[in-house]
Amino acid sequence: MAEQVQLRVALAQVDTRVGDITGNAALVVDWTARAAQADAHVVVFPEMTLTGYPPEDLVLRESFAHASERALVELATALDEQGLGGTAVVVGYLAHTEGRGPAAVDEPPTADEDRPADANPRHGAPRNAAALLHGGRVVVRYYKRHLPNYGVFDEARYFVPGTELPVVRLHGVDVALTVCEDLWVEGGPCGVAGQAGVDLVLSPNASPYERAKDDARLPLVRRRAAEARATIVYCNQVGGQDELVFDGDSMAVAPDGTLLARAPQFVEHLLTVDLAFDPAAVPERREGRIGPMTVSRHVVSEQPVAPFEAQPGAVAEPLGDAEEVWRALVLGLRDFIEKNGFPSVVLGLSGGIDSALVAALAVDALGADRVHGVGLPSKWSSEHSLADAEDLARRTGLHYSVVPIAPMVDAYESSVELSGVAAENLQARVRGTLLMALSNQHGHLLLTTGNKSEVAVGYSTLYGDSAGGFGPIKDVPKTLVWELARWRNAYAAERGETEPIPRNSIEKPPSAELAPGQQDSDSLPSYEELDAVVADYVDRDLGMADLLERGHDPEVVARVLRLVDTAEFKRRQSAPGTKISLKAFGRDRRLPVTNRWRETLPTVREGARA
């Protein structure tokens, strides 16, 4: 057996903050020190570490891009000054490469010159970049080649794709960099790396959580490791950013597909993995043009590290589905609150399951002392409403108060004549106004408690129950709301803790309680039926023919689609909430408000040639 070359690699699965270049650079120094403490030779950070991800239109601000470039150079210096220059650091950043600057400010950019083909005409050439830092300097810069531009991603709006693959020899190991989406493409940079001949691919990622996505990642990384004929180290960020939550799930996979190490989900974590390479296993090491890319080779150090006793990598088990969703929602909520500097949250407690679940999430995210629940009974509220809300408050320990809404409702109704839906909505808006008043008076963030089923069909009052700065369960269908409530109670019971959610809130039939004896089932199909149609129509974009082929009741489909289509104006004004599904409402699904399209079965026109 040939002599082996070793390397200890650390994966810094950190929670960065969008726009906080200074803070993120400090985070890199801190975690590099921890990696050095663990005797790692190289540490990998997530995609766009310095800017946070996704920075959205900040990318188009030249001052921001220049600050990112400056911060990268200063970071290399700072690491070296703190004695960390010997640890190689792979860090993501926003690069601002040569290109046309923004158009002259006094003229519209379209006035006097043609646009460069297929580029953003208003800005230079920003890149989604990763750099390898060592010994106080920026050794190489890699520019992401494959730019996702679907779902929540707009990277074609921002970045120019890279065409170069630098390979760095570090302690005798040839290391290539790729960034996130590059890993999802067969024949992409990993294929080029495979042809060029490398030992190791280091990949910073910012891959948002979706249910079951962790099931896709490992097979994906395995395919790329085989294609690259190299070990792949995949470091994903963790944390919430507006609609997105990142679960981490960082891992290292050998060329033969062996999972060497895997980080736990939804927590910051330093994962180390000890690797050994057989230099003879790479038959040829090439440079120059390979496929669509140009490979260059760089040397930091030929000398292998002194042999050390390799430790087996830790392999975290992925979480079960319900726990995974729960932790995603808790982290998405917590990070929105903490990163935006809110001291506390407030929400209306109806005694129903949605507000109970949001309250339990908020207590898990912030602790009971930062959560304020308000009962807002009306004349149509049932007896159990207040009792269940009080029970929830007792179980979770949140702050609880009650403000009956009758005096306000009466004042409006004495001033203007209202009936039907207008009168129902009034009650919801009085509640929204009261909660916003408490938010303004005390600095609480108001949480809105609408679930995905309601948001889909517009079963909510604009500026009423939809009021709020964040919607923790906006992407959670009602059937999953119940499932999560049961899971959370069972989780508590297993640990001998109080079940946070009153069983009555879980078991009673859902009602908006805006009219006497009202139940959701008066105006909606069963949530089982509704959620199944929403999953197919919204998440999977199926048309009428496919929906019927999937076995849905034609009448239910027609009803649900009409509601979904006409509720777009409400969703356009809704608060952000954590995405957990294949397609969440928000950036992920961009439909016009003004839209005449309605799904029908295609009719074949007489005499038409199709």
| Residue positions counted in the chain | 610
DSSP conformation class of 447: B
Residues 168-197 that bind its own copies (CB under 8 A): 181, 184-188
Active site residue 190: no
Spot the catalytic one: 144, 478, 570, 579: 144
- Whichever of 303 and 594 has its CB closer to its own copies, that residue is 594
Q: Is 156 in the site for its own copies (CB under 8 A)?
A: yes
Residue 189 CB, nearest approach to its own copies (Å): 11
State the catalytic residue, choosing from 3, 155, 164, 180.
180
Task: Rule CB under 8 A: choose which of 44, 253, 434, 561 binds its own copies.
Answer: 434
Near its own copies by CB under 8 A, which window of 39-47, 276-284, 298-306, 417-425?
Answer: 417-425
Q: Which of 236, 241, 460, 578: binder of its own copies (CB under 8 A)?
A: 241
Distance separating alpha carbons of residues 593 and 571, to the nearest angstrom: 9
Nearer Cβ to its own copies, position 297 or 559? Answer: 559
Q: Is there a contact between 4 and 276 (Cβ–Cβ < 8 Å)?
A: yes
Residue found under tokens 């180290």: 233
- Residue 114 or 555: which CB sits closer to its own copies? 114
CB 27 within 8 A of CB 288: no
Going by C-alpha positions, the residue among 449, 462, 451, 35 that lies closest to residue 235 is 35
Sign of the C-alpha dihedral computed for residues 352, 357, 363 and 365 taken in this order: negative
Q: Which amino acid is at 448?
A: T
d(CA 399, CA 397): 7
Listed ranges 3-11, 110-118, 485-493, 494-502: which one lies at the site for its own copies (CB under 8 A): 110-118
Structure tokens at 365: 């995210």
Footprint on residues 58-97 left by its own copies (CB under 8 A): 58, 60-64, 66-67, 70, 73-74, 77, 81
Q: 3-state class of 462 per DSSP?
A: coil
The site string for its own copies over 353-392 (x = CB under 8 A, - otherwise) reads ----------------------------------------
Strand 399-402 to strand 293-299: parallel, antiparallel, or no bridges (unpaired)?
unpaired
Cis upstream peptide for 108 (omega within 30°):
no
The residue count for binding its own copies (CB under 8 A) is 135
298 near its own copies, rule: CB under 8 A: no
**Cβ contacts of residue 230 below 8 Å, gap of 6+?**
176, 193, 194, 198, 199, 200, 201, 255
- Give yes or no: 213 in active site: no
Cβ 332 vs Cβ 362: under 8 Å: no
Does the protein bind its own copies through residue 551 (CB under 8 A)?
no
Q: Is 54 in the site for its own copies (CB under 8 A)?
A: yes
Residues 6+ away with beta carbon under 8 Å from 308: 6, 8, 39, 274
Is the CB of 495 or the CB of 596 nearer to its own copies?
A: 596
Q: Which is nearer to its own copies, 40 or 192 (CB)?
A: 192
Question: Position of tokens 């920003």?
Answer: 126
Q: Which of 3, 309, 417, 494 binds its own copies (CB under 8 A)?
A: 417
Chosen residue from 163, 258, 519, 595 binding its own copies by CB under 8 A: 595
Enumerate residues 330-349 that contact its own copies by CB under 8 A: 335-336, 339-340
47 is catalytic: yes
Q: Quote the least distance from Cβ 587 to its own copies, whole Å.
A: 8
419 forms part of the interface with its own copies (CB under 8 A): yes
- Tokens standing for residue 341: 């500097």
The SS3 assignment for 132 reads strand
For the annotated catalytic residues, the residue numbers are: 47, 144, 180
